Chains A and B, each alone.
Chain A
Amino acid sequence: MNDMAPTREQREAKLEGMGCKRKRVEDARFTQGKGNYVDDLKLPGMLHGDFVRSPHAHARVISINSEKALKVPGVLAVITAETLKTVNLSWMPTLAGDVQMVLADGKVLFQNQEVAFVVATDRYAADDGINAVEVEYEALPVVIDPFKAMDKDAPVLREDLVGKTSGAHGPRKHHNHIFEWTVGDKDLTDAAFRKADVTIKELISYHRTHPSPLETCQCVASFDKINGDLTIWGTFQAPHVIRTVVALIASLPEQKIHVISPDVGGGFGNKVGAYPGYICAAVASIVTGKPVKWVEDRIENLTATSFARDYHMTTEIAATKEGRVTGLRVHVLADHGAFDACADPSKWPAGFFNIVTGSYDFPTAHLSVDGIYTNKAPGGVAYRCSFRVTEAAYCIERGMDILAQKLGMDPAELRLKNFIKAEQFPYHSALGWEYDSGDYHTAMKMMMETVKYADLRKEQAAKREAFRRGETRDIMGLGVSFFTEIVGAGPSKNCDILGIAMFDSCEIRLHPTGAGIARVGSKSTGQGHETTWAQIIATEIGLPADNIKVEEGNTDTAPYGLGTYGSRSTPVAGAAIAMAARKIKAKAQMIAAYRLEVHEDDLEWDIDGFRVKGLPEKTMSMKDICWAAYNSVPPGMEPGLEAVSYYDPPNMTYPFGAYICVMDIDVDTGVYKVRRFYALDDCGTRINPMIIEGQVHGGLTEAFAIAMGQEIRYDETGNVVTGSFMDFFMPTAVETPHWETDFTVTPSPHHPIGAKGVGESPNVGGVPAFSNAVNDAFSFLGSTHIQMPHDFWRNWQAAKRLGAVG
């Protein structure tokens, strides 16, 4: 009999717990076209809404005439700011403490701003309707260049703020100024610069781009006039936050509001905030008593719902002549567009940009950020990154390369010289963070050995000589990037959204047959939570992952959570899941002790159940405990086996990684070829290596797109010139390089399972690797810094400017 018993390995494998390359359970439906997305929802009598949008970047709205539109067959209503004023919803609060027009109230402030909402019986009639609405505008002068926004005579953009000398984040120093945020020790930093042997100063811009998920933003709002219940299905990364926002602004009791995120086709930060479409659909449903659907098209998505980046970072580093960094000074001009609609934790107007000291032991640093208004779309969301961490990583990683160039040092060597050492963790950074764990030297050296870094440098030197001799028109660049992220927002002591602490939550309920359901406050938009959350539970409580159903996204059934963005799901929700599972395990232990007639302390955990210490044949499996929980619990104990946990993380987590990009550029055309890209990630404990690899592939592809051409660009009159996938670079499989992935494991010491989060690392670390590769390729021709994006024509321009093209 004993020979037939499964081995320990077999028992473990059966669980498909943490560390297992478990296949994604979601994919059965996604790969067969059976996902259930918002636009799949069709309710009886459902109406469709669509926006009239502004062709102007800045204009006064003289009149809106809906007469002709209302005569279009199928058109039922045209909602304008005047309509919304009757319910006090013509403006809405943003997550960043600003207010934003829902529909143009007197003027428009960016091209494609929402002006009127046409409600019709079908999508076609709605589109005919918006083309029949007549809007008269009077064009106003525009502010497009952020560096001109605070000119003395710059046009006043936000008339609603005239006379307001302070905003949500302190004093405003100009009519187009939003906030100034400063961190660090100015005097000490200034002194470091005075004493420095070597300093660098460079304006490093991170251009405006857009998360552009495959599925655009959309919702269906349905108001039940009898019960007064409002249900909103939407593409929400944070459904509970949306419910609370609706409750606060619509004066509806929160229990009457039901927010549901069904399957969501990618978010990348685009689906965190609240958009006029949600408000208009809800108001239209309340007015008509029928469900109203709103679905963005691609142009609307790129031009009106949240952009990302647009940070202009004047970066200064002080160092000794031996290459020890002694100070960092950064000033950021942050272009927020027409409204400050950043989706940062409320107290952080520039997100966690103060992670800008990166992986290096800076004795002192000083940072100041000026947020400004321009005639561009609002937003400033974290596009696959923790709030402004991509910008910070790009800033310091480009800065370190520029410093290396000035010192005549190898960029990898300069990094190794300045890394925070493994024994320095937990490490307190000059700008106020406590890095939980890291081993940077090991990761960097592993990267350098794997790609044979020294050989690549030798090859580059030979290529440069050949180029100088006229034997080749290709130049070669090595892009080194060593990033440290700060993710998992966040501890209640410093992170909240609209006053709600950024905890997350999990509720696990086990059924008598050894199966169960876990409901979580996060919301997968493609990350595979249904797969990985079950793996955590499987390892924690010894039931197969296949037996655990994971449910997210319904505010009526899921415990309150702050949602999925900023790589917070694993650090926060993942911790809540482990903690809830441990509560269950504790109760299970009491049940097992009762059934095995021993004291609890005489039991020990063994893969999938408890066994009596010293008596390995006396065991009770978790499956049997589940059954017992419903019929024979110890006297005085409540039956059942369920638990809930709300997890307030004690600290952020700090994933890191060492990336390198090897690139060749043809100077005659500017065409680049990524010859090799190696990405080593350390995200602490790895839950599902296959999903991690997929996340890294996806994030690197986005990083590649951003660095090499993905841009939201405006012309001088405020027209978006990259408003479709024709001009907004969305790489296909043909353009996408091959990715090599690798890892080290440095667990987070404060996280219950040691996991740190990985989804955003490749975007954060990838962009500087690509940009450094381009800059490194051109550096021998006398270039210090070339701004992103590095598309073909800009590479050619750089080559021409540097005299490499005739």
Chain B
Amino acid sequence: MIPGPFSYHRPSSVADAVKLLVSLGDEARPLAGGHSLIPMMKLRLATPEHLVDLHGIAGIKGVRRDGSTIVIGAMTTQHDLLASEMISKSLPILHETALVIADPQVRYRGTVGGNVANGDPGNDMPALMMTLGASYTLQGPGGTRSVVARDFYQGAYFTSLEPGEILTAIVIPAPASGHGYAYEKLKRKVGDYATAAAAVVLTMSGGKVATCAIGLTNLSETPLLAEEAAKIVIGTGLDEATLKKAAAAAEEIMSPAADGRGPIEYRKSVGGIMVMRALKRAAARAG
């Protein structure tokens, strides 16, 4: 449970961090909150020779409004999210989700940027970002670009990040006022990854669903957007039959692994249940 030897770097700007990552190559890893990387290093499943700590970089932490979007700096911690009034007001689903991520100690240290950039299918924020239509700002040797969350995830721990690139910010279009939302997470205990989780953001009009997006956590190699399921509920009043149909459509795209959280059949089944519960709760909240 002790990492192998490594060198530690603490750049003070994104440009310097990028330079370091480029010059040190494959053997370097950026370090944010460290809650995924450090345990892997302790088990020697990850053995980077260089750690590039992003904590010394000013300006990539904090939440701000930019027109119709909300911008979250990559080094913003889950605790910062929970403490942010802007988040509670404009993106309450982020608040609700951050509360079910690990435990307070982890949330003090774990960052939103690290959570979305690592590509761990068990992380809660990626599916949420897909649901919200967020995009990620990536800064690398070739300059700055933006990738939408829905295109970012390619496989377990495999993302659109190019060598030397750092995710510096998350840009989220502010959801319509009066939107309904819910993040339903089934987990074995505090601190665990989801056995299955579903994020729902919707708007209602005249008792019917007007718009809807559904994201799924830890039910495949990547976070999923359950587009078919969302389509099914639009225009309905979320009656039992529709909910079941939506759940079935969501289950269609799930391909979870069998692990200590349960066999595949179970994880898919409760994945459907989470979708139904999230839809119901979101609809009840919609103004």
Chains A and B come from one and the same complex: yes
Is A732 touching B191 in the complex (CB atoms < 8 A)?
Answer: yes
Scan residues 215-232 of chain B and give those whose CB is less than 8 A from a CB of chain A.
none
Q: Return the contact of A729 from the options B186, B188, B266 (Cβ within 8 A).
A: B188
Answer whether A669 and B273 are a contact pair too, CB < 8 Å, given A128-B4, A792-B186. Answer: yes
Instruction: Choose the segment among B55-63, B67-75, B164-172, B255-263 that binds chain A (4+ C-beta atoms closer than 8 Å).
Output: B255-263
Determine if A297 and B190 form an interchain contact, defined as CB atoms under 8 angstroms apart.
no
Interface flag for B241 (CB, 8 Å): no
Which of the residues A124, A713, A732, A792 comes within 8 Å of B2, measured between beta carbons? Answer: A124
For B259, what are the chain A residues with a Cβ–Cβ distance below 8 Å?
727
CA distance A669 to B263 in the complex (A): 13
For B189, B192, B261, which residue has the most chain A Cβ atoms within 10 angstroms? Answer: B189
Is the CB of B269 closer than 8 A to any CB of chain A? yes
Shortest distance between the CB of A376 and any CB in chain B (Å): 18
**Among B188, B189, B273, contact of A668 (Cβ-Cβ < 8 Å):** B273
- Given A669-B270, A805-B269, A127-B188 contact (CB < 8 Å): no
B44 in contact (CB, < 8 A): yes
User: Given the complex, which residues of B lie within 8 Å of A671, measured CB to CB?
Assistant: 186
The chain B residue with its CB closest to the CB of A73 is B5
**CB of A796 within 8 A of chain B?**
yes
A717–B191 alpha-carbon span in the complex (Å): 29
Interface residues of A in 109-129 (CB under 8 A from B): 123-124, 127-128
**Once the chains bind, are B260 and A796 in contact (CB under 8 Å)?**
no
Chain B residues whose CB sits within 8 angstroms of the CB of A123 once the complex forms: 2
Q: Taking the complex as formed, is A131 at the interface, i.e. its CB lies under 8 A from any CB of chain B?
A: yes
Residue in B2, B195, B270 whose CB lies within 8 Å of A127: B2
**A793 interfacial contact with B, CB 8 Å:** yes
Whether A793 touches B261, Cβ cut-off 8 Å, given contacts A128-B4, A669-B186, is yes
A99–B1 CA distance with the chains assembled, in angstroms: 29
**How far does the alpha carbon of A721 sit from the alpha carbon of B259 in the complex, in Å?**
9
B189 touches A721 (CB 8 A): no
Contact residues of A between 667 and 686, Cβ < 8 Å to B: 668-671
Q: Please indicate the chain B residues that have their CB under 8 angstroms from the CB of A709 in the complex.
A: 188
Residues of chain A within 8 A (CB-CB) of B270 are 668-670, 796
Find out whether the CB atom of A131 lies under 8 angstroms from the CB atom of B189.
no
CA gap between A721 and B257 in the complex, in Å: 14
Q: Which of B44, B190, B263 contacts A732 (CB 8 A)?
A: B190
Contact mask for chain B residues 95-112; partner A; CB cutoff 8 A; 1 contact, 0 none: 000000001000000000
Contacts A729-B189, A791-B188 given; indicate if A797 touches B4 (C-beta within 8 A).
Answer: no
Contacts of B266 in A (CB 8 A): 670, 793, 796-797
In the complex the two chains form, what is the Cα distance from A669 to B197 in whole Å? 12
A797 to B188 Cα, complex, angstroms: 16
How many angstroms between the C-alpha atoms of A466 and B4 in the bound complex? 59
Interface string of B248-282 (1 = CB under 8 A from A): 00000000000111110011011001000000000
Residue of A nearest to B258 (CB): A793
Q: Is A735 positioned at the interface, with any CB of B under 8 Å from its CB?
A: yes
What residues of chain B lie closer than 8 Å to A62, measured between beta carbons?
Answer: none
Main secondary structure of the interface of A (DSSP, over half): loop
Q: How many residues of B contact A (CB 8 A)?
A: 23
Task: Give every chain B residue within 8 A of A732 (Cβ-Cβ).
Answer: 103, 189-191
Mask for A783-806, Cβ within 8 A of B = 1, else 0? Answer: 000000001110011000000010
- A127 surroundings in chain B (CB, below 8 A): 1-2
A106 interface contact, C-beta 8 A? no
Closest chain B CB from A135 CB (angstroms): 16
Q: Assess the B186–A297 pair: CB atoms within 8 A.
A: no
* Bound CA–CA A797/B264 (angstroms): 12
Q: Does A299 contact B (CB under 8 A)?
A: yes
How many pairs, one residue from A and one from B, have CB atoms within 8 Å of each other in the complex? 58
| Residues A722 and B190 in contact, CB atoms below 8 Å apart | no
Which among B186, B188, B270 has the highest number of chain A CB atoms within 10 Å?
A: B188
Residues in A with CB closer than 8 Å to B191 are 726, 732
- CA A793 to CA B273, docked complex, whole Å: 13
Assembly CA distance A668 to B276 (angstroms):
12
Within 8 A of B (CB), among A629-688: 668-671
- Decide if A734 is an interface residue (CB 8 Å cutoff): yes
Known: A671-B186, A805-B269. A727 touches B260 (CB 8 A): yes
Q: Is the CB of B2 within 8 A of A796?
A: no
Residue of B2, B190, B263 near A735 (CB, 8 A) is: B190
Which residues of chain B come closer than 8 Å to A722, judged between CB atoms? 260
**In the complex, residue of chain A having the shortest beta-carbon distance to the beta carbon of B272:** A668
Which chain B residues lie closer than 8 Å to A299 at the CB level?
1
Query: Is the CB–CB distance between B269 and A796 below 8 Å?
Result: yes
Q: A734, B262: Cβ atoms under 8 Å?
A: no
Q: Whole-angstrom distance from the CB of A307 to the nearest CB of chain B? A: 17
The answer, yes or no, to whether A298 is at the interface (CB within 8 Å) is yes
Residue of B nearest to A794 (CB): B262
Question: Is A731 an interface position by the 8 A CB rule?
Answer: yes
| In the bound complex, CA of A721 to CA of B1 (Å) | 17
Interface string of B159-194 (1 = CB under 8 A from A): 000000000000000000000000000101111100
A 369-419 contacts with B by CB, 8 A: none
Across the interface, which residues of A come within 8 angstroms of B44, CB to CB? 131
**Complex-state Cα separation, A727 to B192, whole angstroms:** 9
- The complex places the Cα of A805 from the Cα of B1 at a distance, in Å, of 42
From A128, A297, A727, contact of B5 by CB (8 A): A128
Closest Cβ of chain A to B31, distance in Å, is 19
Contact A131 B4 (CB under 8 A): yes
Measured CB to CB, the nearest residue on chain B to A733 is B190
Q: What residues of B have a CB within 8 angstroms of the CB of A128 in the complex?
A: 4-5
State the CA gap A727–B189 with chains docked (Å).
10
Interface set, chain A 407-436, CB cutoff 8 A to B: none
| B186, B192, B259, B260: residue with the most chain A Cβ atoms closer than 10 Å | B260
Pick the residue among A726, A729, A793 that contacts B262 (CB under 8 A): A793
> How far apart sit A717 and B267, CA to CA, in the bound complex (Å)?
24
How far in angstroms is the closest Cβ of chain A from B92?
A: 22
Q: Tell which of A128, A669, A734 has the most Cβ of chain B within 10 Å.
A: A669
Q: B-facing mask of A682-711, CB < 8 A → 1, else 0?
A: 000000000000000000000000000100
- For A793, give its contact among B103, B189, B192, B263 (CB under 8 Å): B263
Within the complex, the shortest CB–CB distance from B250 to chain A, in Å, comes to 15
User: How far apart are the CA atoms of A668 and B270 in the complex, in Å?
Assistant: 7
CB neighbours of B261 from chain A (8 A): 793
- Chain B residues with Cβ below 8 Å from A792 are 186, 188, 195, 262
A722-761: CB near B (< 8 Å → 1, else 0) gives 1000110101101100000000000000000000000000
Please report the C-alpha to C-alpha distance between residue A524 and residue B65 in the assembled complex, in whole angstroms: 58
Closest Cβ neighbor of A131 among chain B residues: B44
Distance in Å: Cβ of B182 to nearest Cβ of chain A: 16
9 A-B pairs besides A735-B189, A793-B267 with CB distance below 8 A are: A297-B1, A669-B270, A670-B270, A709-B188, A732-B103, A732-B190, A792-B262, A796-B262, A796-B270
Q: Give residues in B with beta carbon < 8 Å to A.
A: 1-2, 4-5, 44, 103, 186, 188-192, 195, 259-263, 266-267, 269-270, 273
Point out residues on A near B: beta carbons under 8 Å. 123-124, 127-128, 131, 297-299, 668-671, 709, 713, 721-722, 726-727, 729, 731-732, 734-735, 791-793, 796-797, 805
Report the 3 A-B pairs with minimum CB-CB distance, sorted nearest first: A793-B262, A127-B2, A727-B260
Task: Pull 14 A–B residue pairs with CB atoms less than 8 Å apart, ordered by A.
Answer: A123-B2, A127-B2, A298-B1, A299-B1, A668-B269, A669-B186, A709-B188, A721-B260, A735-B189, A735-B190, A791-B188, A792-B188, A792-B262, A796-B270
